[in-house]
Amino acid sequence: MIKTSGPLMHRYLFLFIFSLFSSLYADIDIEELSKLNVEALLVKDLTTREVIYSKEALKRVAPASLTKIMTAMLAIEQGGLNRPVLITSEMIRVEPTVAGYKEGELILLEDLIKATMIKSDNDAAMAIAYAVGGNVKNFAVMMNEKAKKIGMRNTHFTNPCGYDIGSHYSTPKDLLKLAEYAIKNPIFNDITRQNQFVYYGLNTNRKYVAKTHNQLLNRYEYAVGVKTGYTSKAGPCLIARAKKDGNDCLIVMLNSKANRWVVAQQIFEQIFVQRVNTLVEAL
């Protein structure tokens, strides 16, 4: 028996690990993924940092309420989450979905962030824009500066809600970068995994209930966020994350004509099961 050690052993070990992970997704049904009726789709294994599947990654798309990930992150990183925000008429001149705030009401910034992410309330997102940026125009500048800073090279935001107003666009690749950036923040992660949140106006004691639109959180036990979106232009959109048995996966899905909750769950399970099976077979 020949014994190896030192650099030679390290080389064999590297080649073994490389071949293992190169074949890790050999049996993932790429053909079936390509048949899905979605405009764009990205699937990334956050454990191995590998993009498993990519469809129209660079296509310019309407991001809808996926935009609110950036809105929430700017508010979280600005700090002062316990400060009250005075609701003004400009903040509530928005279309549904809305929380229904009243002019003159005081709402905690942290509660606005949760309402923005969990229920996708547009008046909450607009309130964040005014509270953090002073007005929508300045906040959009902040959004675009942050986008460039984290490597979103083909994105332009015009508003904090995700309305199809002006030149408001992104790409699946950029939205994946945004999601990967956001999930590094524990406050963000704690918010996006919540099904429901109850809060009150500070000076009115009016009760607000923010219920998630993300049905994956209710139907799939391993789901841990992140955000849903919809406009007539964007169609049904979803950025979803799931963690199972030490595995971590992120999906970006744009303009899905198929049931996005079913599709996302099936993708997650296929990846998680395949990883386990491949690792067991390799041992």
| pLDDT tens sequence across 48-82 | 999 999 999 999 999 999 999 999 999 999 999 99
If one counts every other C-beta atom within 10 angstroms of the C-beta of residue 13, the result is: 11
pTM of the predicted protein model: 0.88
| Candidate list 68, 119, 177, 244, residue with the active-site label | 68
Q: What is the mean predicted confidence (pLDDT) over 73-100? A: 97
Residue 14: its pLDDT value, please?
Answer: 40
Is 19 a residue of the active site?
no
pLDDT for the residue 110: 98
Gyration radius of the chain over CA positions:
21
**Catalytic option among 44, 114, 119, 120:** 120
Q: Which residues does residue 197 pair with via DSSP β-bridges, in sequence order?
A: 210
How much is the mean pLDDT over the chain? Answer: 90
Residue located via tokens 């590297």: 14
Choosing from 65, 119, 227, 256, the catalytic residue is 65
Alpha-carbon distance of 169 to 190, in angstroms, equals 27
Q: Is 120 designated active site?
A: yes
**Any idea what the Cα angle at residue 34 is, between residues 30 and 37, rounded to 5°?**
145
Give yes or no for residue 237 having a pLDDT over 90.
yes
